[in-house]
Chains A and B, each alone.
Chain A
Amino acid sequence: MEQERFTAEEENVKKMSRNDSYQDIDVKDAVMKRIRTIHVQKAQDEAAFSQESNEPLMQRTQEAHQRQPRFKAKIAVSGVAAALLIAVTGFGIFKLAGDYATPERPLTAVKIIESQAGTPHVLKNSAGQVVLGVQNITQGDTPLPSPSPAALKYSERMNTYRDQVEAALNPGERAVFYVKDAELDKLATGLGYGTKLIDAARPQVYNDYTAFDKAWSEIDHSGIRIPSSLPDGYEFDQGRITDQTFLNQTTPKYLTVLQQLEAEAQADTSGKQVFIRKLEKSRAKHLQVNLDYIKNGAKRSIRLSVSELMTNGSTKVSILSGQSEEKWSIGGKEALFISISQAAGNQGGWLAANRLVYYDQDSNMLYTLSDVSKPLTKNEWLALAPVFIQQSR
């Protein structure tokens, strides 16, 4: 603040107002109650809007973009093949789930830690500081809203631009882009979307486990070793690594890039609509790894999200009513297991996925494994957890 001294007249005015009776105001509870409601509503919107997304609430509450699966053709082919196989052989793929709890593979590797009455589980680092906790959120009974026509229109339009940008990137590259489109701006204003710089990333795709493992091990904080096969003979089919480290909106760099791209867009007279700035390679803070394993045409998809733990405090995983959490000890390594919401129904998103969250102190990274597209049973997770966690570095 400037050191501007007050004149005698200003001091006189100041004396004419009481300054002692403003201390009793406390609206924190009332405001936070409303904030929580908004937060839950936003999460529900996001879940409705992005059926494929499994990102936990703690990661982002920015606009959700309904993404078309990049590999939908391949998924469709696999789906048809699986359906044919079921029809021809009469085998149900659901039977595979039951195979986990067999006498040959006793579920002794995971110890479930009981919580003390009413105390939610936490994960701590070696210094005893809490690094991960849970946050219970009670959502209302309101049915999941459908995205508004405006939101769908925005999403569709934005995805077209994003596809253009991703096509211009090489595998593994990231970028931010600015769109010069008055209609999109109008939609964004109406929907309350504030983000001007949009993120885009092109994944690195591996169809061969050896190449995938090499690429994964070269990432300096790959604290979890990704296996070549899962219990019951599911073999690696494809791995996609996407670096989702984008510019933080509160940094000067974000502003600089935004201003540069805005200036470029303003100066342009060629009718160009998308203005891209590729981001330099840096240590990844957010990674998403999509893994497909296959056995006799049946596919099992696991998503691994890797996020750097924020400094100065702990992170909380949101748990909606209907979901439950357990603490598992896997060969002495602790992880939180958050089960699928029984009330999730067809809501999709992270409401309808199980999550296993593990913290690796050496890399200061949180690893969230989740079952996208088709939830696994708890027994399947109990078998799966040691395969990933025990092989951590």
Chain B
Amino acid sequence: MEGVEQAIMRVQDGESEQYALIVETFQKPIYRYCCRLLNSRTEAEDAVQEVLVKAYQNIGQYRPLTSFSSWLYKIAYHHCLALLRKRTRQNKILMLFQPGPPAESPEQAMERRIFSEPLAIALAGLSPEERSLLVLRVFEEQSFAEIGEILDKNMEAVKKKYRRTLLKLGKMLEAQKGGNTWNRNDSLLKKKM
């Protein structure tokens, strides 16, 4: 990441072309994160652009007290959160005029494949923060310290919240399957964290 750090300093000094290296390095992880948080590839593609432009506009405020990747995830989290809120509001308005669930287009059906169907349904039952926590930890493999930086929480609070989220997800998956696919074991979870 030395090249990236150098590039950040140079962008902060006004060399905007150096930002290309930052885009190249982070576009895929941020896109993955946005995809999983928004559960939509199309929205995620727009989101990743917005996040990277926002980061450029605010790069003067970045300090190496936190990792640059955490700083970017934080911007992405807040951006996706705003999109999800907007989506909720729009859905509520749509529901007023369309009593049944909206028909799913082939593209939407394909997009749903970001997650398997049971997981997609279960994730839909989580709050954006819980969902972000899960995505960052399980799929992006971020440490609890980094997740704390992204979500503005201390590490212990993140661990507790994560444990509860994982259990909540397990229950929802179990409820769908009605079987034993989810091997819930609280003591094991506590031990590993």
Q: Which residues of A contact B10 (CB under 8 A)?
A: 310
Q: Does B24 contact A (CB under 8 A)?
A: yes
List CB contacts (< 8 Å) of B151-174 with chain A. Answer: 166, 169-170
- How far in angstroms is the closest Cβ of chain B from A138? 14
Q: Which residues of A contact B145 (CB under 8 A)?
A: 2
Flag if B53 contacts A34 (CB, 8 Å): yes
Q: Does A9 contact B (CB under 8 A)?
A: yes
Q: A316 to B15, alpha carbons, bound, how many Å?
A: 8
CB closest residue in chain A, given B21: A28
Flag if B9 contacts A16 (CB, 8 Å): no
- How far in angstroms is the closest Cβ of chain B from A223? 21
Find the residue from B15, B58, B65, B169 having the highest chain A CB count within 10 A.
Answer: B15
Flag if A28 contacts B24 (CB, 8 Å): yes
Flag if A35 contacts B14 (CB, 8 Å): no
Q: Does B31 contact A (CB under 8 A)?
A: yes
Q: Take A9-B166, A9-B184, A25-B27 as given contacts and tell me if A58 and B114 are in contact as well, using a CB distance cutoff of 8 Å.
A: no
Q: A258 to B97, alpha carbons, bound, how many Å?
A: 55
Q: Which residues of A contact B35 (CB under 8 A)?
A: 22
- Which single member of A1, A25, A57, A251 contacts B141 (CB below 8 Å)? A1
Flag if B115 contacts A17 (CB, 8 Å): yes
Q: Does A30 contact B (CB under 8 A)?
A: yes
Flag if A31 contacts B63 (CB, 8 Å): no
Flag if B114 contacts A18 (CB, 8 Å): yes
CB closest residue in chain A, given B182: A9
Q: A59 to B16, alpha carbons, bound, how many Å?
A: 11
Flag if A9 contacts B170 (CB, 8 Å): yes
Q: Does B12 contact A (CB under 8 A)?
A: yes
Q: Does B20 contact A (CB under 8 A)?
A: yes
- Which single member of A17, A252, A315, A316 contacts B139 (CB below 8 Å)? A17
Q: Does A361 contact B (CB under 8 A)?
A: no
- Which single member of A17, A61, A315 contacts B119 (CB below 8 Å)? A17
Flag if A32 contacts B20 (CB, 8 Å): yes
Flag if A38 contacts B56 (CB, 8 Å): yes
Q: A60 to B9, alpha carbons, bound, how many Å?
A: 11
Flag if A7 contacts B118 (CB, 8 Å): no
Q: Does A195 contact B (CB under 8 A)?
A: yes
- Which single member of A22, A27, A61 contacts B32 (CB below 8 Å)? A22
Flag if B8 contacts A16 (CB, 8 Å): no
Flag if B45 contacts A25 (CB, 8 Å): yes
**Beyond the given A61-B16, A250-B12, A251-B64, could you list 17 further A-B residue pairs with CB under 8 A, ordered by the A residue number?**
A9-B189, A10-B166, A12-B182, A12-B183, A22-B35, A25-B27, A27-B45, A28-B20, A28-B23, A30-B49, A34-B53, A35-B19, A38-B16, A62-B14, A135-B17, A249-B63, A310-B10
Residues of B within 8 A of A (CB): 5-6, 8-10, 12-17, 19-20, 23-24, 27-28, 31-32, 35-36, 45, 48-49, 52-53, 56-58, 60-65, 113-116, 118-119, 134, 137-139, 141-146, 166, 169-170, 181-185, 188-189, 192-193
Residues of A within 8 A of B (CB): 1-2, 4-10, 12-14, 16-19, 22-23, 25-28, 30-32, 34-36, 38-39, 57-62, 135, 192, 194-195, 248-252, 254-255, 310, 312, 315-316
Q: List 22 A-B contacts (CB under 8 A).
A: A2-B145, A10-B166, A13-B169, A14-B138, A17-B119, A17-B139, A26-B27, A31-B49, A32-B17, A32-B23, A34-B53, A58-B13, A58-B15, A61-B14, A192-B58, A249-B12, A249-B60, A250-B12, A254-B63, A255-B64, A315-B15, A316-B17
